Structure 1
Amino acid sequence: MHTKPRQEKALASDLSALRIAHFLPLVKAVRYYGRRKCAVELPLFPGYLFLRGGAEDTYTADRTDRVAGILKVADQARLDEELSGIRRAIELDGRIEPYDGLVSGTEVEVTSGPFRGIRGIVDQAVPRDRLILRVSLLGKAASLEIDRSLLLTTT
């Protein structure tokens, strides 16, 4: 779902109250307010929230007045796989961050360590080895720093 500006967390809260399955990937960040430093959680993909449900759930979510648009998913299995990699990286406290670069390169799978099984793309354009986890539906990606020795080419 495409949310109205700055409504991702509020929509997630509404969906939780309505018991509708959803996924809002959040990342930790530091913001400064004057001289105060605050730890905050920000959406990894600003303006987007992933809802898992049927037409009734979509209609209910749309009635919250926090939704700007609904994206149609052509390949649900692919989206599920891409999101599961991002979910695991966040749960395992990986240093994941938004990645706005071009999503191209070699497809790989992490072979060992806590991120084992996560598939993504290696981007050699960045200074350190980073695994790019993409969400094709949005045309966006996130990157995760990882040791190259843990990667196995899958193509």
Structure 2
Amino acid sequence: MPILPAEPDFFPPDLWDDPTAVPRTSAEAVWWCLHARPRQEKAIARELRKLGVAFFLPQVLKEDRTPQGRKIRSVIPLFPSYLFLLGDHYDRLSALQGNRLVTVLEVSNQESLERDLRQIQKMLSSGLPVQPEPAAPVGSRVRITTGPLTGIEGTVIRRGKHDQFVAVVRFLGRGATVDLQDWQVEQIVVPSQQP
């Protein structure tokens, strides 16, 4: 199997050059979050680059060792199964062609996402080692944002495989658990208590 060169994290190459705003390909260009099928992020990025559609796929270097002791280096997505597209409605439809995406998530707060993506890009370009972190660590309070349980609040009690976790919701002094994906919840910021 041939070894492919490392995919660029973003396209076009000047995507992050302007410190005040991301260059827009059209007046209607907005950020979209692409939820990809497992291990399809780089293939989607290659297709978007061929189409000339702006995207951001944050990647990190992962080092492992084989049982024989050899080092293996891999470039993996920082957020498995997710990448970000900057484009209009037609660019979004172009990304949906084929069978590589699960869904396209609409971004309601464009400025906040762009600020977060700029921070991630700055961290990645610093040369310092960057490690992925779970969205909601054990013990954090979360609120369900999508699906039939929207608005319910609970506490993360453990993390399972495939970025799933279990949240507990108190009802009559008892708990109920439900498996959720990271993208279905948001962490609740608890204001610090003043003495």
Q: TM-score range with shorter-chain normalisation?
A: 0.5 to 0.7
1:39 aligns with 2:73: yes
Quote the Cα distance in structure 2 between the aligned partners of 1:31 and 1:4: 24
Quote the Cα distance in structure 1 between the aligned partners of 2:118 and 2:80: 18
- The equivalent position to 1:27 in structure 2, one of 57, 60, 72, is 60
Quote the Cα distance in structure 2 between the aligned partners of 1:17 and 1:64: 14
Match of 1:70 in 2: 104
1:58 aligns with 2:85: no
Quote the Cα distance in structure 2 between the aligned partners of 1:102 and 1:73: 23
Shift of 1:17: 1.2
1:102 aligns with 2:120: no
Residue 12 of structure 1 aligns with an amino acid whose one-letter code is A
Asked if structure 2 preserves the Cα contact closer than 8 Å seen for 1:11 and 1:64, the reply is no
1:88 aligns with 2:122: yes
Shift of 1:64: 3.2
Residues paired across the two proteins, number: 109
SS in structure 2 at match of 1:52: strand
Unaligned runs of 5+ in 2: 1-33, 141-181, 187-195
Residue 78 of structure 1 aligns with an amino acid whose one-letter code is S
Asked if structure 2 preserves the Cα contact closer than 8 Å seen for 1:21 and 1:52, the reply is yes
Match of 2:164 in 1: none
Question: Could you say which structure has the greater relative contact order, defined with CA pairs below 8 angstroms and 6 or more residues apart?
Answer: 1
SS in structure 2 at match of 1:38: strand
Unaligned runs of 5+ in 1: 105-136, 141-155
Residue 90 of structure 1 aligns with an amino acid whose one-letter code is L
Match of 1:11 in 2: 44
Asked if structure 2 preserves the Cα contact closer than 8 Å seen for 1:14 and 1:64, the reply is no
Structure with the larger helix share: 1
TM-score between the two structures when normalised by the length of structure 2: 0.51
Moved over 2 A (4+): 31-36, 101-104, 137-140
Residue 131 of structure 2 aligns with an amino acid whose one-letter code is E
Identity of aligned residues (%): 35
SS in structure 1 at match of 2:39: coil
Quote the Cα distance in structure 2 between the aligned partners of 1:77 and 1:37: 40
TM-score between the two structures when normalised by the length of structure 1: 0.64
Shift of 1:58: 0.5
